[in-house]
Structure 1
Amino acid sequence: MSVADRASTAGIGPLTTVIVLGGFMAGIDTSLVNVGLATIAEDLHATLVDAQWATSGYLLALAAALPASAWLQHRLGASRLWLIALVAFMVASLLCAVAPNLPLLIIARAVQGVSGGLLVPTGQSIVARAVSPDRMGRTMATAGLVIMAAPAIGPALGGLLIDTMSWRWLFAVNVPIGVAATLLALRVLPKDAANRTARLDLLGLALLSTGLPALLSGLTNLGSPGTQGTWGPILAVLGALLLVAFVGNATRRDRSSKRTPLLELSLFRRMSYTTAQVTLFFTGLSLFGGLILLPLYYETLRGLTVTHTGLLLLAYGLGALAALPVGGRITDRYGAGITCIIGLTIAMVATAPFVFLPQNTSLVTVELLQALRGIGVGLAGIPAMTAAIRAASDHLADATTTANIIQRVGGSLGSAIIVIVIARTPRQLTGFQAAHAILVAAAAIALVAAGSLAISERRRPRAAATSQASTTHP
C-alpha cells in the first residue's frame, strides 16, 4: 500500500465512524420504541392503539422525507445536509424524552422520522464519494453495521433501558451519541459543493412522498383486524398507483433536457445497477421479513417473554456483525454478486430447517440456526447496496436514495406477507413453517438475481477495458 493509500485509509476511519454513529441512532430507534410502547401508553394515560402512532408517525415521516434526499444533497451539499439531519434528530430525541403527553411525543417522533430518512442515504453518499472503488466493499460494510445489526440489538437494549431506568431513556440515549457524532463530524466531514440552482421536481416529489408512505402503510396493515385491515389494501393500491405515476413523470422529464427528474431512473438502463437493485429488493424482503418473524416465533410460538426474546435475538445480530467485515473483503476481491450468492445460500440453509422443525425444538438448535442465518444475511445485504452505488458512481445521491427506497419497499412487503400467513393459517405451527418457507423462496429469487449481478460485474470490467483500448489505439 502506498503512502497516499495509507493516508486515504486513515482518513476514512474517522469519517466512517461518524456516519455509523449517526446512522445507529436512526437505525435502532424503531426497534427500541417498539419494546416500550405499552409502558409509554400507560405512563402517558393513552391507549396502546393511540401510542402506536409514536412508531407509525416515525415510519411514515421517514418514508415521506426519503425521496427528497437526492435533491437536497445536490442543493445543500451532502455533508451539510447530513449534519443538519443529525442535529435535528438529536433535538427531536430530546423533545421525545421530555414530552409531557402523547401528541407532543408523536410530533417529535415525526421530526425524528424526517431527519432519520435523510441521515442514512446521505451518509452512504458521503462515504461512497470519499473511498476508492477497490475499498468500497469494506467501507460500506462498516457503514452498514446499523442497517444489519440495529434491528436485532434494539429489543434487548430497549428492554434493558425500560427495566433499569425509564422509557424516556429510549430517546435520551440518542443525545450523548448525537453530541459526540456532531463534534466529530465538524472535524472530519469533507467539504462538498452545493448546487444552489438545482431545481426541484415538485410533481415528482409530491407523487413519491405521498405514494411511498401510502404503499408502506398499506403493506404494513394488510391482514390487520378491524379498520386497519380494511384500509390496508386501499392504501397499498393507492400508493402503487402514485409510484407508477411518479415513474411516468420521471421518464417524461428524463427525455427532456430542460426538465430534471427527482431521481435518475435512467440508471436502470445499466444492467449491473438493475440487477443490484433487484437483488437488494428480495434480500430486503427476506431480511426484514425475518426480523418480523423472529420475535413472533419466540413470543407467540415458544411463549417467551419480551426480555428473553430480545436476548435471544442477539444471536442473529452477532452473526450479522461477524459477517459484515468478511463480506466487505470478499466484495472488494471477488465482486458483490459472488458475495451475495454465498450469503443467500447460507441464509437458505439456515432457514430451511424451520419449515420442518417441531414446536419443541431445542432453543440451542434454534439459536445456532439463527446465528448462521445472521451470517448469511450479513454477507448478502450490504454487497447489493455496494454494487448499486458502484454502478452509479456518477449519480451517488440518486443511487443511495433509490436503493434505500427499494430496500424498504421489499422489507415492508416481506413483513406484510409474513404477518398475513401467520394470522390466517389455522394451525399456529403450520403458519410459522409456511412463513419460513416464504423466506426461503425470497432468498432463492434473490439468489437468481445475484447470479445475474455476478455475470454483469464480470462483463463490466471487460467492457471498460475494451473502451479504454479503443481510446488508446484509434
Structure 2
Amino acid sequence: MTDLSAQHQTPDDHLDKRVLVVAGVVVLGSIMSILDITVVSVALETFQREFNATSAEVAWTMTGYTLALATVIPLTGWAADRFGTKRLYMTAIVLFAAGSALCALADNLAMLVAFRVLQGIGGGMLMPLGMTILTRAAGPERVGRVMAILGVPMLLGPIGGPILGGALIDSASWHWIFLINIPLGVIALIYAFLALDKDHVEPSQTFDFLGMVLLSPGLAMFLYGVSSIPEAGTILDLKVIGFMVAGLLLIAIFVPWALARRNDHPLIDVRLFGNKELTVAVVTLALFAMAFFGAGLLFPLYYQTVRGEDALHAGLLLAPQGLGAMVTMPLAGMLSDRTGPGKIVLGGLTTIAVGMFGFSQLDDTTPYWYLLGCLFVMGLGMGCTMMPTFAAAQATLREHTIARGTTLVNIVQQVAASAGTALFSVLLTNGLKGQESLEKSSKFMAALGVPEDQVESFVADPANQQKVADAMAAAGIEPSAMKDLLASIPADTAAVFSEVFLIASILVLVCLVPAWFLPKSKAEHGAAAPTVLH
C-alpha cells in the first residue's frame, strides 16, 4: 500500500482515492459510535417498562456510556502512539461490537448499564482515532475537506438515530438497537484491516501514569456531576457540587503536572495551547458544542411534548437540518483549506443564530413549513461551522502531535456537549415548573395516580368521578376551569421552549467572539503548534 507520508508532500490539494478510502473506514466507525447514542435515547421509555425502573435509573444507560467515553478518551493519544492507530482502531471496533452484543443479551438494568460502559470504552476511542487517521492521511493542507467528510456521521447520528431507533423498537424489539451494530462492526473491522496501512510504531513514549490517575477520574467525576444536574433540578445540589468540584480539582492538579519540565510526555499535551489558532479553535468549539448540542435536545422534545409526535416522526422532522448541512459542508471544507476558516465560521455561526432565533418565536400552532425552514437554515450554518472549526485545530498539528492534539480536541468537545445538554435540560425543566397551568396539571396527575396514557379513559368513566374531583381539589383546580386549563397547556409549554431557544440563540452569538480570531487567510492558517511551553 501507498506510504501515507508521501501524501503529506504532494502539492496537489485534491482528495485522492487513497484518502477517500481511508475516510470511508473512519466514517463507518464514527457512524456506529454516534448513531448508538441517539438510538438509545429513544429507547429510554421502553427500558422503564421492560425493567420496571424509574427514569433516573434508566438514564444510567446514557450516563454510563458517557462516563466511559470521558475515561478512555484521554488514554487514546498515548495508546495510538504506543500500539499504532490501525491496531487500536480495530480493537475499538471489536470492543464496541462486543459491548453491543452483550447489551442485547442483558436481562436486567444493571447488566445493561455495565455492558454500555464496555460499549463506551470502544466508542470513546473511535472518534479521536478516526480524526487522527484522517489528519495523517490527508496532511494539514487538506484537513478542512477531510473534516467535512467526518462531519457526515456527526449529522446523520442525531437525525437518523431517533428514526432508526423508533423503527426498530416499533417493528421488532429494543434488542435490535444493539444487534444492528454487530454486522456494522464486522464490516468496519474487515474494511479497516484491508484499507488502513500497517502500523509502524516507534519506540514507546513513557506512560503518564500520574496523569491518568488525575485526568480520567477527574473528567468522569465532573461529567457525572454535570449529568446529575437535570435530575437534581439545580447546580446547587450537594451531589452535583461534590462530584463537579472533586472532578475539577483533579483536572486542576493535572494541568501543572502536564506542564512540568520533567514530564516530557503528558497524557494530554496542554502545551499545545501555546498555538493561537488551536486555542481559539478549541474555545470556539467548546462554546459551540454547548449551544448547539445542548439545544439539540429541545427540537425532538418540542415535537413530542407540544405537537404530539412520536419518536419516529420527531426524528423525520429534524431531517432538514442534516440536508442543509450536506449542502454547505463540502464547500465549506474546501474554502476553509484555501482561505482559512475564520470568515466561513463567522458566517456559519450567524446563520445558525438566525435559524435558532426563528424557533424563539414559535408557539403550539406554528406551521411545520416554518419550523422545517428554520432547521434547514440552521443546517446551512452547521455545515460552515463545526468541521471548519475542528479543521482549524487539526491544521496546527504535525506527525508527532496529531494523536495527542486530536485527543485534546475531543475531550473539550465531549465535556462541552455534556455541559450544554445539562444546562438546557435545567433551563427547560425549571421553565416548565414556573408555568401555573403545568404545575397544576402535574399535581392533578400525581394525585390521580394513573399512567398518562390511561388518564383520558379514567376521567371519562363515571365510576371515577369522586377520585377525579379529589385530584382536582388537591391540585387547586376549579371544575369549571378544568377545560380551559387543559387547553392552555400546549401554549404554555411552547412558550417555555421559545424562551429557552432565545437563550440558545444568544449563546450561539457569543461564539462569534472567539471565532473572530480564527485565521481569515491561508497565510495565517495551519502554523504548527509548539511542543513545549514553559
Q: Same fold (TM over 0.5)?
A: yes
Question: Equivalent residue of 2:16, what SS?
Answer: helix
State whether residues 279 and 384 of structure 1, in contact with CA within 8 Å, keep that contact through their aligned partners in structure 2: yes
Cα distance, 1:150 vs. partner?
0.6
State whether residues 77 and 403 of structure 2, in contact with CA within 8 Å, keep that contact through their aligned partners in structure 1: yes
Alpha-carbon distance between aligned partners in 2 of 1:8 and 1:319, rounded to the nearest angstrom: 23
Q: Which amino acid aligns with 1:177?
A: L
TM-score by length of 2: 0.81
What is the CA deviation profile of residues 399-453 of structure 1, one whole-angstrom value per residue up to 9, with x for unaligned ones? 1111111111221222222122222222444432232122222221211211101
Alpha-carbon distance between aligned partners in 2 of 1:331 and 1:459, rounded to the nearest angstrom: 12
Q: Point out the structure with the larger helix share.
A: 1
Match in the other structure for 1:131 = 138
Q: Which moved more, 1:224-233 or 1:406-415?
A: 224-233
Please, which runs of 5 or more residues in structure 1 have no aligned partner? 465-474
State whether residues 271 and 456 of structure 1, in contact with CA within 8 Å, keep that contact through their aligned partners in structure 2: no
What is the CA deviation profile of residues 37-94 of structure 1, one whole-angstrom value per residue up to 9, with x for unaligned ones? 2223433454443332222111111111111111111111111111111111111111
Match in the other structure for 2:246 = 238
Q: Are positions 1:396 and 2:461 aligned together? A: no
Match in the other structure for 1:471 = none
| Match among 375, 392, 409 for residue 415 of structure 2 | 409
Closer/same/farther in 2, CA of residues 188 and 49 from structure 1, 3 Å limit: same
Question: Equivalent residue of 1:144, what SS?
Answer: helix
Q: Which moved more, 1:207-216 or 1:218-227?
A: 218-227
Closer/same/farther in 2, CA of residues 62 and 365 from structure 1, 3 Å limit: same
Question: Equivalent residue of 1:231, what SS?
Answer: helix
Match in the other structure for 2:258 = 250
State whether residues 212 and 243 of structure 1, in contact with CA within 8 Å, keep that contact through their aligned partners in structure 2: yes
Number of residue equivalences: 460
Alpha-carbon distance between aligned partners in 2 of 1:415 and 1:88, rounded to the nearest angstrom: 27
Match in the other structure for 1:357 = 362
Q: Which moved more, 1:94-103 or 1:70-79?
A: 94-103
| Match among 16, 21, 24 for residue 23 of structure 2 | 16
Alpha-carbon distance between aligned partners in 1 of 2:404 and 2:48, rounded to the nearest angstrom: 39
Cα distance, 1:227 vs. partner?
11
Alpha-carbon distance between aligned partners in 1 of 2:209 and 2:515, rounded to the nearest angstrom: 35
Match in the other structure for 1:449 = 514
Alpha-carbon distance between aligned partners in 1 of 2:139 and 2:264, rounded to the nearest angstrom: 32
Q: Which amino acid aligns with 2:248?
A: A
Alpha-carbon distance between aligned partners in 2 of 1:452 and 1:7, rounded to the nearest angstrom: 27
Cα distance, 1:209 vs. partner?
0.7
Cα distance, 1:110 vs. partner?
0.7
State whether residues 337 and 457 of structure 1, in contact with CA within 8 Å, keep that contact through their aligned partners in structure 2: no
Cα distance, 1:152 vs. partner?
2.2
Q: Which amino acid aligns with 1:279?
A: T
Match in the other structure for 1:55 = 62
Q: How well do the aligned residues superpose, as a CA RMSD in angstroms?
A: 2.5
Match in the other structure for 1:469 = none
Cα distance, 1:4 vs. partner?
9.1
State whether residues 149 and 320 of structure 1, in contact with CA within 8 Å, keep that contact through their aligned partners in structure 2: no
| Match among 419, 432, 435 for residue 497 of structure 2 | 432
| Match among 70, 88, 91 for residue 81 of structure 1 | 88
Q: Which amino acid aligns with 1:442?
A: L
Alpha-carbon distance between aligned partners in 1 of 2:356 and 2:137, rounded to the nearest angstrom: 37
| Match among 90, 96, 99 for residue 92 of structure 1 | 99
Q: Which amino acid aligns with 2:252?
A: V
**Structure label with greater radius of gyration:** 2
State whether residues 148 and 378 of structure 1, in contact with CA within 8 Å, keep that contact through their aligned partners in structure 2: no
What is the CA deviation profile of residues 325-354 of structure 1, one whole-angstrom value per residue up to 9, with x for unaligned ones? 222122122222222112111101111122
State whether residues 272 and 456 of structure 1, in contact with CA within 8 Å, keep that contact through their aligned partners in structure 2: no
Q: Which amino acid aligns with 1:303?
A: G
| Match among 314, 318, 339 for residue 313 of structure 1 | 318
Alpha-carbon distance between aligned partners in 2 of 1:354 and 1:48, rounded to the nearest angstrom: 28
Cα distance, 1:458 vs. partner?
4.6
